[in-house]
Structure 1
Amino acid sequence: MALFNFEGKNIYYSELGSGVPLVLLHGNTASSKMFSGIAERYAEVFRVISIDFLGHGRSDRLDRLPPDLWFYEAQQTIAFLREAQLGRVNLIGSSGGALVAINVALEAPDLVNRVIADSFEGEEPLRSFIQNIVEERELSKRDPGARSFYLSMHGSDWEQVVDNDTRAIVEHEKEIGLFFHKDLGSLKPEILMTGSKKDEFVCAISPDYFEQSYGKMMSKIGHGDIFLFESGGHPAMLSNQEDFYRLSVDFFERKSPQ
């Protein structure tokens, strides 16, 4: 069992394959287990590293997750990358993990080659999601499918993990409101933003939600690409796994613009 110490707590991570490092960053209420299938596929090409953020999966638990959750998880990732001395890595963050990946690229561009940010809200929380999250999370805890997912991600204390995540999301919207500490115009690594036009979290709000939110971010960043799948749910990287795999490998192996 591979562990990395961060602020006195143990973070679990796993490695597969060899070659250029590819780090996979999981979303809220999930763990690195969400990548179990696609990680094996990536390991045919890359050295794949999957991390369980503190309070999730096989990592140590926290009594409370901080409101600035995605920045805190980025700090964990940066500390791991510096200690592991991996050089410049490729990152894929999905859902909440996409926010982490962008924060890593903003805060430590010397550690990052390219970034894929998949299936995320944009620069700030989705108000309609926050307004209903407490009720929806309580309903999910009684849903057999959701309960099975949470149990598979975290084990027997999954309910504590979910409740901590819900509390952090609500507190973040009240106290902070933005996902990134630095101006998006300072982002240096090449970035690809992906999503599904049928994503259940955003399609009810607007059929072109990703076009609008990603487009706004890209205008600030000044470089990068957007790719939206016509079908599939949340997250796109798993609901469109084979197409996403081909797209991502092409992106990571593409020569950087001169």
Structure 2
Amino acid sequence: MPYFNFQGKKIFYSVKGEGPLLIILPGNTATSAAHENELTYFSDRYCTVSLDFLGTGKSDRIKQWNSDWWEDSSHQVAALVEHLNYKEAVLLGISGGAIIAIAVAINHPDYVKAVVADSFSLHFTEEMYKNNVLKERANITEQQQTFWSSMHGSDWQDVVHADTEMIEMVVKEGGFCINGRPENIKCPVLLTYSEKDSFLPNVKEIAAGLGKRISNCEVRIFLHGDHPLIWTNSREFFQTVDEFLLKL
């Protein structure tokens, strides 16, 4: 299995295809294992890669997920680009992975050719934390348990707990997921959302606000789907992404 080293720890990644580099960034509590279909879909045009961020999946565990977890994960992505001997990559981030994609574009702009960011906000509100994260994880279904076990293995409960505590810290510190300013992003960015996203309140406001802050940005909000769009309205999502990628 392929790994690379980051600050003395091992990070797992999956690879399919050849060509320019496209990296799929999983959302919180998901891993590269959740993106086999996406890896296959893009592999006829790209060297398509996904990774398990530190603390998740097949990567090394960390003692505590601090409130800068998304920021730190952005540095892991940059290290992966270097490890693969590429100069730049297209980043496709989903939910929490989209937060990380935006952070990479801010923190490591030379490594990012373009960003597709799906179903996310850069501000994690108390409402989102209480009504979604806490509510979901207080009553874990058999389906959720099966998903998390397939992502992380036998210690999946520890991973989910660490993620929950990290989000709580972020909310208590003001809810801002990253330190950098989206205004500093120079590469093309595509933002995708479902109008009926059950996780994100005020989707249209979130999308419009980010669209104004990022200069080279396209925003697409779809009538159908939920959270994340990539899995709940995959047909329109992939059609839109393909059109965006063709323009690069």
- TM-score, normalised by the number of residues in structure 2: 0.95
- Tell me the amino acid that sits aligned with residue 131 of structure 1: K
Q: Is residue 113 of structure 1 aligned with residue 113 of structure 2?
A: yes
Paired position in structure 1 for 2:169: 171
1:129 and 1:117 map into 2 onto residues whose CA distance is: 19
Q: Is residue 130 of structure 1 aligned with residue 129 of structure 2?
A: yes
Q: Is residue 197 of structure 1 aligned with residue 195 of structure 2?
A: yes
- Tell me the amino acid that sits aligned with residue 50 of structure 2: S
Taking only the aligned residue pairs, the percentage that are identical comes to: 34
Paired residues, number:
247
CA contact (8 A) 1:38 1:241 kept: no
Gap change, CA 1:85 and 1:176, over 3 Å in 2: farther
**RMSD over equivalenced CA pairs, Å:** 1.4
Matches within 5 A, 1:156-235: 156-175=154-173, 177-202=175-200, 205=201, 209-235=202-228
- Tell me the amino acid that sits aligned with residue 167 of structure 1: E
Paired position in structure 2 for 1:236: 229
Q: Structure 1: any 5+ residue segments left out of the alignment? A: none
- TM-score, normalised by the number of residues in structure 1: 0.91
CA contact (8 A) 2:15 2:39 kept: no
Matches within 5 A, 1:36-185: 36-121=36-121, 123-132=122-131, 133-140=133-140, 143-175=141-173, 177-185=175-183
Tell me by how many angstroms 1:195 deviates: 1.1
1:109 and 1:85 map into 2 onto residues whose CA distance is: 16
* Range 80-89 or range 227-236, more displaced: 80-89
Summarize deviations over 1:128-177 as a string: whole Å, max 9, x none. Answer: 1223433431212xx11111111111111110110000000001121353
Q: Structure 2: any 5+ residue segments left out of the alignment? A: none
CA contact (8 A) 2:117 2:192 kept: yes
Tell me by how many angstroms 1:219 deviates: 1.3
Gap change, CA 1:124 and 1:227, over 3 Å in 2: same
Which residue of 237, 243, 247 maps to 2:240?
247
Matches within 5 A, 1:26-45: 26-45=26-45
CA contact (8 A) 1:78 1:104 kept: yes
